[in-house]
Amino acid sequence: MKPTGTTSRAERATADLSRAIETLMVALEAHLPGCEAHSRRTADYAAVLACRMKMNPGDVEIVRRAGFFHDIGKIGIPDRLLRKPETLKPRETKIMRRHPEIGRDLLRGFSFPRAAADAVHAHHEWFDGAGYPRALKGKDIPPMARIIAVADVYDILRAGRNYQPAVSREEAEKTILAVSGTQFDPAIVEAFRTCAAEFNALFESAG
């Protein structure tokens, strides 16, 4: 039995891995200001959704961590694309769409849980198969990725981007509900509908 107050080697290793990747997040923030705050909010929303979907506590924590690191692959994307104020050209879009795969490979390289790496890889897939990078469809998309997809888009809508103005809480909720069954898993959109007030409270409290 482990004595009270001690930490196992596995727990220390996991903490070291998290700190190492958080250091990469700091580096990404230098390239893409606001990314860290977006990632923290996305992680919080995703955890709320995971709880509402009745995931067990261990899986909720994996969803939270995957939500925080969902954009880590952007560290491998040129600054000129990350900061471009206009819509990307097709060739530039192709480069930008490499970031989920880069993120997955980074997390696997740090021995993160496979479920977290898979969620990062698939968080831009669409429920109807129109997403990327693999055009996965429906239940072929990992459940954690389907959760993070909703959380990510909600925050992008509320906070805005250099190429996209922020919208109100009501407009963000309306947009997400409108793409149930196309971009998002209907079951997760329904869970979002029941906890939209919690999303708004998290956004507002983050300042």
- pLDDT tens-digit series, residues 72-82: 999 999 999 99
Q: What is the pTM of this model?
A: 0.90
| Percent of the chain at pLDDT exceeding 70 | 91
Number of Cβ within a 10 Å radius of residue 85: 7
- Residue 198 to residue 74: CA distance in whole angstroms: 28
Q: Which segment of 24-33, 160-169, 175-184 scores lowest on mean pLDDT?
A: 24-33
Residue 1 pLDDT: 44
4's enclosing H/E stretch is none
Write the pLDDT tens digit of every residue in 18-53: 677 778 888 888 888 899 999 999 999 999 999 999
Average pLDDT, the chain: 91
d(CA 115, CA 120): 9
Cβ distance 126 to 32 under 8 Å?
A: no
DSSP state of 162: T
Q: Which CATH homologous superfamily contains domain 33-205?
A: Hypothetical protein af1432 (1.10.3210.10)
157, 172 contact by CB (below 8 A): yes
CA dist 2 and 168 (Å) reads 50
